[in-house]
Chains A and B, each alone.
Chain A
Amino acid sequence: MIAIIDYGMGNLHSVSKAVERLGYNTIVSAKEEEILAADAAILPGVGAFGDAMDQLVSTGLDKVVKQFVATGKPLLGICLGMQLLFQSSEEHGYHQGLGLLEGEVVRFQGDFKIPHMGWNKIEFKQASPLFHQLEEGYVYFVHSFHAKLKQQENLLAVGDYFGPVTAIVNKDNVFGMQFHPEKSGELGMALLKNFLALIKK
């Protein structure tokens, strides 16, 4: 069972359907016991960082996410869900994140179109079971803020949009994708599939 963590932000339907198409059962849930019982969990999210953290904290799901990570089972943050894994964000003021990964989320700066929206190529920076039998290719991004990591060893893949863009991050059993794997064609589905394959049988 794969838990899609429901904290009132974002497009849960597409993510849960994508996981189901890969042959897994899903449960969209905000309940501690259901989430902790899952084999893997996905933290989705669309919207503003501060609102999302407020939602997580007020529902107690911030603690549930951390408890889940402590079990060693795989967690995947998608888009805003990935950004929430970091220590902080400067989106509409300073906000604290979950702090599962070291680094901060900052706004794109420069004379170019923001949000970074569309298909962009990602480059794999290091070997990972996530890239099993995969080649680099295009994935679908929609975001105005991006993550700056403190530890480069946590960086699995980058995109290029007037400078490097953190695309996939990983520390132990915590994974994050800035783009939407559920909206990224075959490569996106393959990345999701490889993430779910991390579940210990």
Chain B
Amino acid sequence: MLAKRIIPCLDVKDGRVVKGVNFVNLRDAGDPVELAAQYDKEGADELVFLDISASVEGRATMVEVVKRTAGEITIPFTVGGGISSVDDMTRILRAGADKIGINTAAVLNPTLITEGSRRFGAQCIVVAIDARYNEEWQDWEVYTHGGRKASGKRAIAWAKEVEALGAGEILLTSMDADGTKDGFDIKLTRAVVEAVNIPVIASGGAGKVEDFSEVFIEANADAGLAATIFHYKELTIAEVKADLKLKGVEVR
């Protein structure tokens, strides 16, 4: 059976890692490539790069980062952020990324999912969904533009739709849990996992080792993603995996 995956996420702006980085023994802790190689050595199963560059130059720099990363690491990686056309996807995949993450562009132009999936295969297309609980609806709503804009779409329905359109995987971020370190959003994650038949990566809220076993056992997520706790060395991937093994969760 497939092992559950632990995925660190790196925010990259103009070719530099922006969120706090606390790695020792790195020549250049702000270099995404060196950090990626470090996570590879530590047992990460996959990596996600989120390009938050706002400029054309920044985006071009990202392609270089992807190329260098592909030459350095021995695990798959996804690149998201600012990808809004098949041409953008081609550039990033040609540079050596394994998967493409799309979020806002998928909401604004859902056919992009289908086009990308047909061209590169469903396994290359990860749709990122940022969701927040809407009290009025008593349901989760999809947000775009880095969580700044409510889309009016219901998250569960959108998850089913992206699967039908050809997405190979869903990267689900709970905006309610994100930053709290109180654990993943189990209810949301379980609801999405039960609604679709493609892998779901849970994101947002990881703060301690047990949070990972909870999201794998209680919500049956396929992967758990975290950024800050790994960057600041509050947790190591080895600690998380040791705890998962103890609880009988299959990990690499």
Chain A residues whose C-beta falls within 8 Å of the C-beta of B75 in the assembled complex:
140, 183-185
B30 interface hit (Cβ, 8 Å): no
How far in angstroms is the closest Cβ of chain A from B64?
13
Closest to A20 in B: B71
A118 near B96 with CB under 8 A, answer no
A183 near B121 with CB under 8 A, answer no
B168 near A18 with CB under 8 A, answer no
Interface-facing stretch out of A9-17, A36-44, A63-71, A167-175: A9-17
Complex Cα–Cα for A185 and B168 (A) = 22
B98 near A118 with CB under 8 A, answer no
Complex Cα–Cα for A160 and B1 (A) = 6
**Cβ < 8 Å to B, chain A residues 9-51:** 11, 13-14, 17-18, 20-21, 46-47
A100 interface hit (Cβ, 8 Å): no
A13 near B67 with CB under 8 A, answer yes
Chain B interface mostly? loop
Interface 0/1 of B130-169, CB less than 8 Å to A: 0000000000000000000000000000000000000011
A74 interface hit (Cβ, 8 Å): no
A117 near B74 with CB under 8 A, answer no
Interface 0/1 of B83-98, CB less than 8 Å to A: 0000000000111101
Contact of A14 among B1, B2, B96, B123 (CB under 8 A): B96
B71 near A120 with CB under 8 A, answer no
B199 near A18 with CB under 8 A, answer no
B51 interface hit (Cβ, 8 Å): no
Interface 0/1 of B168-183, CB less than 8 Å to A: 1100000000000000
Complex Cα–Cα for A120 and B198 (A) = 17
Complex Cα–Cα for A140 and B98 (A) = 12
Contact of B98 among A20, A116, A183, A185 (CB under 8 A): A183
Chain B residues whose C-beta falls within 8 Å of the C-beta of A161 in the assembled complex:
1-2
B96 near A11 with CB under 8 A, answer yes
Q: Please give me the 7 A-B residue pairs with the lowest Cβ-Cβ distance, nearest first.
A: A17-B71, A138-B252, A118-B2, A119-B3, A13-B96, A119-B252, A183-B76
Residues of B whose CB lies within 8 Å of any CB of A are 1-3, 5, 40, 45, 67, 70-72, 74-76, 93-96, 98, 121-123, 168-169, 197-199, 222, 252
